[in-house]
């Protein structure tokens, strides 16, 4: 799962990237995509580690790519669009600070960025429609493409069209931009914590997730050692760092859940999409486990902690045997039995 930190130049993307990952990438104009991961904090993994004392403890991770905005302040060049295309989901950083860059215009910035994605998608569809109308070979795709185009013409992103699973399958090869899930980070000046009224209003009206973050300060905090971080955050009236707030929103945006695996060798958390089956969860661990899937032995985290051991769960019936199609729940501890 790769989340692209995107937006126009000078909006605070690299600063946010540093705040999230604790890296120290130089800010300012650059054309390199920076990559970094953050661990998803999860007290359940810590609890399992406490019980098993394993050799290794592994948290789920989210991968970030800081995608430079290119030269334009209100438009995106083809290279930048190409880099955005590779992302699974987007976090657009919107400038909310002045700092010599001029009065911020966050609502206009959100709209302008969306327009760029929409225009790019329209270009792709237009070309394809021409061919589809000439060939008359694929009526289903033609109908779908016309529906998409009409929606984009109204300046609406494809993600708001209400496409069903079949539609999405047909469209997956096109890698449209305005179809990608997106959330917004408003980079605020020091000392401010709330969204300006016009931004909050836009978010409410269009049902957008917009997180206010003072990116510059949070980047400074992320560079401190953990003990000092707590102190600093308390002074600012925050109970958790930007990365924690961001992860929660990203999980929600991408509709992710966590399942767990445990043992003497490793206790580990894994992110999968809500609605994934046991065999898909097995595949997240290793393709062999999906290929040779026999069954999953599943205990909910709460039941495990209450019962104290896997043997006790077997005894009291809280360990369940589930098949391929079982829909994995958040907090399930899974043991995949497989044979390859």
Ligand X SMILES: Nc1nc2c(ncn2[C@@H]2O[C@H](COP(=O)(O)OP(=O)(O)O)[C@@H](O)[C@H]2O)c(=O)[nH]1
Contact segment (CB under 5 A) with Mg ion among 6-14, 75-83, 163-171, 204-212 equals 6-14
User: Minimum CB separation from Mg ion for residue 311, in Å?
Assistant: 53
The reply to whether 10 sits near ligand X by the rule CB under 6 A is yes
Report the nearest approach of Mg ion to the CB of residue 190 (Å): 19
Contact partners, residue 165, CB within 8 Å, separation at least 6: none
Task: Tell me if 247 sits within 8 A of 40, measured CB to CB.
Answer: yes
Which CB, 98 or 302, lies closer to ligand X?
A: 98
| Residue 187 near which of ligand X, Mg ion, none (CB within 5-8 Å, type-dependent) | ligand X
Q: Minimum distance between the CB of residue 69 and ligand X, rounded to whole angstroms?
A: 6
- Which of Mg ion, ligand X, none does 80 bind, CB closer than 5 to 8 A by kind? none
Query: Which one of ligand X, Mg ion, none is in contact with 104 (Cβ closer than 5 to 8 A by kind)?
Result: none
Task: Print the binding letters for residues 180-219 with ligand X: x by CB under 6 A, - otherwise.
Answer: -------xxxx-----------------------xxx---
Distance CA 179, CA 171 (A): 10
Q: Which is nearer to ligand X, 101 or 168 (CB)?
A: 101
CB 269 within 8 A of CB 60: yes
Position among 4, 6, 14, 83 found at the interface with ligand X (CB under 6 A): 14
Task: Kindly give, in sequence order, each residue whose CB lies less than 8 Å from that of residue 181, ignoring residues fewer than 6 positions away.
Answer: 89, 90, 159, 253, 254
Token pair in block for residue 180: 């990608």
Q: What are phi and psi of 89, to 5 degrees?
A: -150, 160
Nearest-10 crossing angle of helices 226-235, 215-222: 150
Of residues 13 and 180, the one with the C-beta less far from Mg ion: 13
Residue 12 interacts with ligand X (CB under 6 A)? yes
Closest distance of CB 30 from ligand X, Å: 8
Judged by CB under 6 A, the residue of 3, 4, 6, 13 near ligand X is: 13
Toward ligand X, which CB reaches closer, 27 or 175? 27
Q: How far is the CB of 93 from ligand X (least distance, A)?
A: 6
Token look-up 């390859």 returns: 340
User: Minimal distance in Å, beta carbon 213 to ligand X?
Assistant: 7
Report in angstroms how near the CB of residue 100 gets to Mg ion at its nearest: 16
173 DSSP 8-state letter: G
Question: Does 238 contact ligand X by CB under 6 A?
Answer: no
216 interacts with, out of Mg ion, ligand X, none, CB within 5 to 8 A per kind = ligand X
- Could you tell me the smallest distance in angstroms from the CB atom of residue 161 to ligand X? 29
Q: Which stretch binds Mg ion (CB under 5 A): 11-19, 35-43, 293-301, 324-332?
A: 11-19
User: Least distance from C-beta 238 to ligand X, angstroms?
Assistant: 14
Residue entry with tokens 């969860």? 281
Which of 252, 110, 249 has its CA nearest to residue 187? 110
Strand, helix or coil for residue 143: helix
Burial of 179 (0-12, 13-18, 19+ CB in 10 A): buried
158 φ, ψ (degrees, to nearest 5): -60, -25
CB 12 within 8 A of CB 66: no
Q: Which residue has the tokens 């070979």?
A: 137
Tokens of 3: 């989340």
Q: Is 14 in the site for Mg ion (CB under 5 A)?
A: yes
Q: Are 187 and 94 in contact (CB under 8 A)?
A: yes
For ligand X, the closer of residues 217 and 279 by Cβ is: 217
Q: How many CA atoms lie within 13 A of 288 on its CB side?
A: 4
Q: Which residues bind ligand X (CB under 6 A)?
A: 7, 9-15, 27-28, 69, 93, 97, 99, 187-190, 214-216
Q: Which residues bind Mg ion (CB under 5 A)?
A: 13-14
């Amino acid at each position: 799962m790769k989340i692209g930190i995107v937006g126009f130049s000078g909006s605070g993307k690299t600063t946010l990237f540093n705040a999230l990952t604790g890296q120290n990438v130089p800010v300012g104009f650059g054309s390199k995509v920076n990559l970094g991961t953050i661990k998803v904090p999860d007290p359940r993994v810590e609890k399992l580690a406490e019980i098993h004392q394993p050799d290794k403890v592994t948290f789920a991770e989210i991968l970030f790519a800081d995608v430079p905005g290119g030269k334009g302040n209100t438009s995106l060049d083809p290279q930048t669009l190409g880099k955005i295309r590779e992302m699974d989901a987007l976090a657009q950083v919107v400038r909310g600070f002045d700092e010599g860059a001029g009065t911020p215009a966050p609502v206009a910035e959100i709209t302008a960025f969306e327009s760029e994605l929409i225009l790019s998608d329209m270009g792709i569809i237009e070309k394809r429609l021409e061919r589809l109308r000439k060939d008359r070979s694929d009526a289903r795709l033609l109908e779908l493409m016309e529906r998409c185009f009409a929606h984009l013409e109204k300046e609406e992103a494809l993600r708001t069209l209400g496409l069903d699973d079949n539609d999405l399958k047909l469209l997956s090869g096109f890698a449209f931009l305005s179809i990608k899930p997106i959330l917004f980070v408003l980079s605020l000046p020091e000392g401010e914590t709330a969204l300006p009224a016009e931004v909050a209003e836009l978010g409410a009206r269009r049902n957008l997730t917009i997180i206010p973050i003072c990116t510059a300060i949070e980047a400074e905090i992320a560079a401190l050692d953990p003990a000092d971080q707590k102190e600093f955050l308390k002074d600012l009236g925050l109970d958790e760092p930007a990365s924690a707030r961001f992860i929660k929103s990203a999980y929600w945006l991408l509709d992710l859940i966590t399942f767990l695996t445990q043992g003497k060798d490793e206790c580990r958390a894994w992110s999968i999409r809500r609605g994934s089956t046991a065999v898909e969860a097995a595949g997240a661990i290793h393709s062999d486990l999906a290929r040779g899937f026999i069954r999953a032995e599943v205990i909910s985290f709460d039941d495990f902690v209450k019962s104290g051991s896997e043997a006790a769960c077997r005894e009291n019936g809280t360990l369940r045997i589930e098949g391929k199609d079982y829909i994995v729940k958040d907090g399930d501890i899974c043991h995949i039995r497989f044979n390859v």
